[in-house]
Amino acid sequence: MQYRKKIQADDPGALLLDETLFHNANGYLGVRSNFEEGYAEGIETIRGSYINGVYDFVRMKQAEKLYGLVEEKQTMVNVADTQGIKLFLGGEEFSLFSGQILRAERILDMEKGYTGRHIIWRSPQGKEVRMDIRRVASFTRLPLFFIDYSVTALNFQGNLRIISTHRGDVKNYSNPGDPRVAAESLRHLLPVRCRTEGAASFIVSETSKSGLLVCTAVDHAVEGGRGITLSTEAYPEGAKTQIGGILEKGKTLRLLKYAVFTDSLRWEDCEEAAGQELRDAVSAGADALYRSQEKYLGEFWEGALLEIDGDEKCASAVRYNMYQLLQSAGRDDRGSIAAKGLSGEGYEGHFFWDTEMYIEPFFTLTRSAIGRNLIAYRHAALDEARKNARLLGHKQGALFPWRTIMGRECSGYFPAGTAQYHINGDVAWSVVSYYLATGDFEFIAEKGAELVFECARLWIDAGAWYRGTFQIHGVTGPDEYTCMVNNNYYTNRSAQFNLHWAVRFYHMLKNAQRLNPLAAKIDLSPREIQTFSRAEKAMYLPYDEELGINPQDDSFLSKKKWDLAGTPKEDFPLLLHYHPLHLYRHQVCKQADTVLAHFIFEDGQNKELIRRSFLYYEEITTHDSSLSTCIFSIVASKLGYREKAYRYFGDSAMLDLYDTHGNTKDGIHTANMGGTWMAIVYGFAGLRIKERGLFLNPAIPDPWQSYRFRIRYQDSLIQIGISKSTLTLTLLSGTEKHITVYGKSYTLQKTLALALRGP
């Protein structure tokens, strides 16, 4: 599983894009794929390294100082730069912007877990070298990033000098013209001390306002060469290591640069921890680190296999997306998954509801420990969510913020941000989905149920009783082109689901004699559960008799439709070219909203109503959000629109590798990547996991010959293979399972082959 691409040194846009596409990350740290030696003067770069969950505070001044408006946000911090390596051959400095490039390509190996550059370069004076550079963010030693840098003299012998840098004077990236990126380039991390310990260097830095500490430590090992010297010197904001010697013709010098990242969120003494992590990594050596990386990925792909025959372009894109999800996902309750993962600073590293609805399903069904960690992050932020609810006037429950890092709201524009109360329903849905897929009741008792109860409490306080119905007013659904409405269908449906499962978990805990400690902790009473049940049953869900669809909200259908066909192509995305109020007065959707509800909560409506809704919203949805086309693909699959389903899927799958939205330079689109996987598993294969068990309604896209994937369901690993004529289910491990296919029940004991239904 490799992705290769020719290096285009003469294309600044391609260089920026490749910094994202070939970044290294492991869920804890991420490093953009910048050239170690740097670029020619004047070429833009986003040079960055990041730690999941490490943030600084930034003032966000409001023009109108009203009560409760957010005036301080968190932002991802660009931490110390450990990438720098400059190579000198005699008096000539290596650069892809001088001399002659005889060969230059990038590689991402998704089985061995490294990125690389393979280069043959001729200097202006005619010296030819081959360079093989590998970079690894270790999946088994999360604080470790290392560079394996080899130089081979092809036609000369002479002096070689390397300067390896460790810099603490870094800033965050900014783009004032794009609201998805920070508007100011600020320096958030300030070095406290820089020191050396033998050949190793240490930088301890502190964030400017949040008071978090980060330590980066770097050491080197050299193999080959003659007469090698190595020395390290610290200066006020960093350190520099110089390596010198003779490189003989046909011989190779190999430099191993080990860098570790630690922080005060996770370690009591991050400097001491960095020292120990660095010594352990150097002692293990690169070869052992490569072996452990490959072993980890072998186990991952064993459980997450997804193969497509007959469409290699799509297959490559899907594999790439799955690998990036693994690189992006937090491994503890201090971090989650940012909108851009750990690949860039788009959306300032904030965590959104995207994680629960688009990404967690992938991990829940392939590597459930990561899915559990993502939910644990929300549980760790529960007190901040309770404070957020009080700030917004609610006397009970918790309200999770629209965008955040450490748990507080970061959205300064509340109509399209804080008002998205549906996030509570999304968090509850993720907890329930995890439970149904894993059967992990212990986690529900420890953390999951508390999340569901506190989210449910919020709905009771936010909603209102009117003529025997329970209604929720003044909220915004997933579609950010329609804000501050009454009875958003998606919101009300997710609240109903949340309330239902709060009641279910209450009785499950009570029957298992696990209720009392939690009930005492949060003062949960039987009367409150009765209120949940009453509100669930009376939840108002807007319905239009004339059209036979669920309106997006109470007022949506009374607005005039936006003329999408008459809108100039250059005016998309609309949010960058039209005032929000102008958008809010029209029937126009940025992304799936009611259509998303018809996927997630499909049992709530019959298939023909869903069909009418899908066709209606299809005509007025711009898909300006990367979260949209994957959902339309899933619902199109459900409805039997195979050609549409495949077209929407392709738009989603290719988004980053082909930069179809033009902003992948700022980071990958993690939620869309999760949505791509969902479009295959939940869409084409028709997989659903419900309280009644595992359901399948499979089909195959016309361009494919076959496809197969694996899921972990409860204690079993199951492979699902679909060809033009046959569905094959294989129980690879675990106990037998009852599975419903096309509405008929079967028992899977080993292998089950069934005829595939036609369109």
Angle between helices 422-438 and 368-380 (to 10 degrees): 140
Give pairs for 688-692: CB < 8 Å, separation 24+.
Answer: 688/602, 689/365, 689/433, 689/436, 689/437, 689/713, 690/436, 690/603, 691/436, 692/740
Rounded to 5 degrees, φ, ψ at 591 are -160, 175
- Rounded to the nearest 5°, which phi and psi values hold at 102? -90, -30
Q: Please say whether the beta carbons of 675 and 647 come within 8 A.
A: no
Rounded Cα distance between 706 and 127, Å, is 50
Question: What are the angstrom distances between the C-alpha of 554 and each of 186, 514, 528, 549?
Answer: 43, 41, 28, 12
Instruction: Report the distance separating Cα 85 and Cα 59, nearest Å.
Output: 35
Distance CA 202, CA 218 (A): 7
Report d(CA 149, CA 163) in Å as an integer. 12
Beta pairing class for 586-587 and 560-561: parallel
**Which listed residue (360, 480, 536, 618) is catalytic?**
480
What's the count of helices (H) and strands (E) in the chain, helices before strands?
20, 32
Spatial neighbors of 597 by CB under 8 A, at least 6 apart, are: 489, 490, 493, 494, 550, 604
Is the distance from CB of 135 to CB of 116 less than 8 angstroms? Answer: yes
Show the tokens assigned to 199.
């050949």
d(C-alpha 20, C-alpha 11), whole Å: 15
- Is 41 buried (19+), middle (13-18) or exposed (0-12) by CB count in 10 A? exposed
Name the packing angle between helices 449-462 and 515-522 (round to 10°).
40
What whole-number distance in Å separates Cα of residue 250 and Cα of residue 275? 36
Tell me the pairing of strands 128-137 and 114-122: antiparallel
Structure tokens that stand for 373 in this block: 């960690």
With tokens 């644990």, the residue in question is 376
Residues 6+ apart with CB under 8 A from 495: 422, 424, 425, 459, 463, 472, 539
Tokens of 553: 């909200």
C-alpha dist (Å) from residue 240 to 60, 163, 218? 37, 7, 10
Q: Which two tokens stand for residue 667?
A: 């980071």
Cis peptide before 478 (omega within 30 of 0): no
**Catalytic status, residue 480:** yes
Place of tokens 């003044």: 474
Range list of β-strands (E), 597-657:
none
Amino acid at residue number 189: L
Q: How far is the C-alpha of 759 from the C-alpha of 402, rounded, in Å?
A: 40
DSSP secondary structure letter of residue 383: H
Burial of 390 (0-12, 13-18, 19+ CB in 10 A): middle
Best CA proximity match to 340, nearest among 3, 673, 680: 673
Question: Strand locations in 425-579, DSSP E?
Answer: 463-466, 469-472, 560-561
3-state helix/strand/coil string of 121-172: EECCCCCEEEEEEEEEECCCCCCEEEEEEEEEECCCCEEEEEEEEEECCCCC
CA distance 129 to 682: 50
Of 337, 383, 335, 344, the C-alpha closest to 360 is 337
Tell me the catalytic residues: 480
